[in-house]
Structure 1
Amino acid sequence: MELNYLILALALLVSAAGIQDVLSRRISNIFPLVIVLLFLVATTLGGWTAEVWQNFASFLLVLSIGAILFQRGILGGGDVKLWAAVALWFKLTQLPLLVLSITLAGGILALLSLGTRRFRRSGGARPAPSWKTARSVPYGVAIALGTMLSIAMSEVDPGAASPPSAGHEQLNNSLLDMVE
């Protein structure tokens, strides 16, 4: 039962990070830190298994690729840290779903951003306050949406070798309803 609340806390934390990204175009380091700590608590409560190495491998893989994307100016540092912290909750077999969900959400946000820029240029709204906010996409929102979709579509139970509980299934269904 505690794991369900921790997974809900993960969804709320990543959502708060996305909101902060929209409002300030930055993501505080506290969000990835708390998400990692929450994972450690969830894994301890759920029981450490030999499979937990996959979660750490997901974290390192996303962090490594994210560092390259940050170096090339494609993602912000807060985005990379948040995405890596979220990836810690997913085993290697679940990571493609997470990456696909976040990438698709990011693509949709980019298209929406392009549409709003064209709207601004046509005189429908006042221009954006700075070049950075006019050109960037708050990728924390994509990470939040992709994470919630991935939670709803997979069995995110750190350290758990057994099938998810009925409460976990109910949370998954609630998150799916929110996304749809």
Structure 2
Amino acid sequence: MNIAASLLSAVFPIVVTVAACYDFLTMQIPNRFPAVLAIAFLALAFLIGLPLPTIGLHVVIGIGLLVGTFALFAFGYLGGGDAKLASAIALWLGIEQALPFLILTALFGGALSLAILSFRSLPLPGFMLGWTPAQRLHEKGAGIPYGVAIAAAALMVFPDTLWFTVFASM
């Protein structure tokens, strides 16, 4: 593989990790993260010569997940940034890793939700009183930074993708 392909494949784990950290600290996922993932996917797919029907299938999976996650957003179960991030991730994963990604996201999301709800049931430790992210996470009724669960699931299935092979060839 060439160096450009290897560098482009590194975009996935880097952007997914940064998006998770950003969500954890701010409870927001800016549009730039899913946008960078989508652009990098298309650039990498064309760079390595992925067949157009395969690219199309990846796009269909991404759009399909976008429709499903926006339904969850419309009913208040998921944030809009989470929906866009999960869809951009699905674009990279394609049909082979979509189901494992969704299952792991649900499992990690459940564990994360339980951990944060437990954290909220206790008084905020004194050393965290002045730290805005901790106060935001501790606030009763606040959302859950589900991007953390989405990213954890994505990074768990990434080694089983074609892109990891490209990434590992660096």
What interval of TM-score do these two structures reach, taking the shorter chain for normalisation?
0.7 to 0.9
Which SS does the other structure have where 2:96 is aligned?
coil
State the partner residue of 2:57: 54
Deviation at 1:70, TM superposition (A): 0.4
Contact kept in structure 1, 2:137 and 2:144, CA below 8 Å: no
Deviation at 1:4, TM superposition (A): 3.4
> Which sits farther off after the overlay, 93-102 or 36-45?
93-102
State the partner residue of 1:177: none
Deviation at 1:108, TM superposition (A): 1.4
Same amino acid, percent of matched pairs: 29
Are 1:30 and 2:32 counterparts?
A: yes
1:131 and 1:39 map into 2 onto residues whose CA distance is 32
Q: TM-score, normalising length from structure 1? A: 0.78
Which SS does the other structure have where 2:95 is aligned?
coil
Contact kept in structure 2, 1:31 and 1:82, CA below 8 Å: yes
1:8 and 1:73 map into 2 onto residues whose CA distance is 33
Q: 1:107 to 1:157 in 2, by over 3 A?
A: same
Contact kept in structure 1, 2:116 and 2:137, CA below 8 Å: no
State the partner residue of 1:98: 101
- Give the unaligned 5+ runs of structure 1: 159-163, 172-180
Deviation at 1:140, TM superposition (A): 1.1
2:15 and 2:86 map into 1 onto residues whose CA distance is 12
1:6-33 Cα deviation digits (max 9, x unpaired)? 2322111011111111111111111111
Contact kept in structure 2, 1:3 and 1:157, CA below 8 Å: no
Alignment: residue pair count: 161
Q: TM-score, normalising length from structure 2? A: 0.83
Deviation at 1:67, TM superposition (A): 0.9
